[in-house]
Amino acid sequence: MSKFCNTIIVGAGASGLMCGAHLKSDFLILEGAQKPAGKLAVSGGGRCNFTNENISVENYTGEQEFIASILQKFSFDDMLGLAKKWKIPFDVCKNRQLFCSNTSKEIITPLLEHSKGRIVTNTRLISVSFEKNEFTLQTTVGVYSCNNLVIASGGVSYPLLGASDIGYSVAGVFGHAVVSPRPALVGFTVQPGESWFKELSGISIPARVSVGLKSFVDSVLFAHKGISGPAILNASLYWEKGLITIDFLPDTKELESLLVGQKQVTTLLGLPKRFSKAFLGAIGVEDKIADKLTATDKEKLSKLKNYNFAPAGTFGLTKAEITKGGVSTVDINPQTMESRLQKRLYFAGEVLDVNGELGGYNFHFAFASALLCAKAINASSKHPV
């Protein structure tokens, strides 16, 4: 015998919990992990960066009209209103990011309160079929059935926190295309030519990182495996293979005007000495007083503002903050998040091919899309199946 519920949400993460919190009829949330809200808890360094004052479609990759339509229905002001209604203490931090003031619990607690007694943990969805006008769900602990099914199972990055590809396989069963999932908001591994990066493990400096037409001014962090930090993570969202350009002196307009006088180059650059020395070593320029630099030295040093390199790859899905790609939005209705191929099947959050930059954009989209699902289900239950 299967357990029946009007609406079943798969995944007690950001989007699943937000959907549940706004449903007006009977629902259950099936969660594969031991605990709900795994990513919310660790996000934003434990303080969850849940939205951004500057939300716009330009901060996302994916189908732009689809994303714009969703953001229009749930703006920054709407999220702010909800945060105030739920008494979530928050701070506006650099790059206009809103973080919980103390801990992610400040946003998790109200989300969980609204789903009290309705979250079934340690229950992993295995497969879904649609028969006799109902969805039948095979899980690791039995069979469930429902009228409305919300897939809020997230992407495939950070498998330790419960991620799985179930959303993509359910989408496939109902004929949806899936855009190939790959890691994003992730560090880059480097080719042998950039092995000097690895010697700098632990150093963080502000830089401008450009990829294609996008540029990000923020920290870059040299790591044991390659290069990371916020500017690099953002660049990874737009990187498809090919070159990345780093300007290690984003606030200096003309390098020539900096490199004059009787001081050593490494002193004049004003960058951490360890970095400057390794950089000079990598480009084959001696650390000498600026007035003794030759034209060739200066030519080589210009790379400080224009350092091109092709990453070898990324740190991979285990370290990526999000999955780029996912269920194609082509067959999803942006008014309701309902599938155009299967009635009463909904998708919300990162499972979709909507990918936000660092800065609260991914939670904002997860919440926005989940609210639309809830509204559509509330409206449809006025006209029951």
Ligand X SMILES: Cc1cc2nc3c(=O)[nH]c(=O)nc-3n(C[C@H](O)[C@H](O)[C@H](O)COP(=O)(O)OP(=O)(O)OC[C@H]3O[C@@H](n4cnc5c(N)ncnc54)[C@H](O)[C@@H]3O)c2cc1C
Which residues contact ligand X by CB under 6 A? 10-16, 30-33, 38-39, 42-44, 48-49, 124-125, 152-154, 157-158, 162-164, 166, 321-322, 349-351, 360-363, 366
* Cβ-proximal residues to 268 (8 Å cutoff; 6+ apart), any chain: 258, 259, 261, 290
Q: Which is nearer to ligand X, 113 or 256 (CB)?
A: 113
Closer to ligand X at the Cβ: 344 or 364? 364
Give the shortest CB-343-to-ligand X separation in angstroms: 22
Residue (of 173, 174, 156, 157) closest to 165 by Cα position: 156
Q: Toward ligand X, which CB reaches closer, 108 or 285?
A: 108
Q: How far apart are CA 103 and CA 92, in angstroms?
A: 14
**Among all residues, whose Cβ is closest to ligand X?**
13
Q: Specify the residue, 315 or 363, whose C-beta has the smaller distance to ligand X.
A: 363
In the complex, least distance from residue 166 CB atom to ligand X, rounded to whole angstroms? 4
Nearest residue (CB) to ligand X, 27 versus 361? 361
Cβ distance to ligand X smaller for residue 167 or 275: 167
Rank residues 153 and 329 by Cβ distance to ligand X and give the closer one. 153
**Shortest distance, position 144 Cβ to ligand X, whole Å:** 11
Specify whether the CB–CB gap between 311 and 209 falls below 8 A. no
Q: Rg of the Cα trace of the chain?
A: 24
Residue 42 beta carbon to ligand X: minimum distance, rounded to whole angstroms:
5
Q: How many CA atoms lie within 13 A of 257 on its CB side?
A: 5
Rounded least distance, CB 17 to ligand X, Å = 8
Give long-range contacts, CB 8 A cutoff, 24+ apart: 328-334: 328/176, 328/177, 328/178, 328/179, 328/353, 329/62, 329/63, 329/66, 329/353, 329/354, 330/63, 330/177, 331/175, 331/176, 331/177, 332/66, 332/176, 334/65, 334/66, 334/69, 334/70, 334/372
Instruction: Name the minimum Å distance from CB 172 to ligand X.
Output: 14
Min separation Cβ 309 and ligand X, Å:
25
Nearest residue (CB) to ligand X, 166 versus 280: 166
CA distance linking residue 297 with residue 174, whole number of Å = 61
- Residue 123 CA: distances (Å) to CA of 4, 9, 42: 15, 12, 21
CB of 189 to ligand X, least distance (A): 19
- Assign residue 125 a region (left: φ > 0; alpha: ψ between -120 and 50; beta: otherwise): beta
Q: What is the DSSP string of 66-105?
A: HHHHHHHHS-HHHHHHHHHHTT--EEEEGGGEEEESS-TH
Nearer to ligand X by Cβ, of 50 and 188: the residue is 50
Q: Residue 286 Cβ, how far from ligand X at the closest point, in Å?
A: 42
As measured in angstroms, the least distance from the Cβ of 378 to ligand X is 19
Nearer to ligand X, 200 or 327 (CB): 327
Main-chain phi, psi angles of 128, to 5 degrees: -135, 140
- Residue 227 neighbours by CB under 8 Å, 6+ apart: 187, 188, 190, 194, 197, 220, 221, 311
Give buried/exposed letters for 304-314 (b at 16+ CB in 10 A, else e).
bbebebebeeb
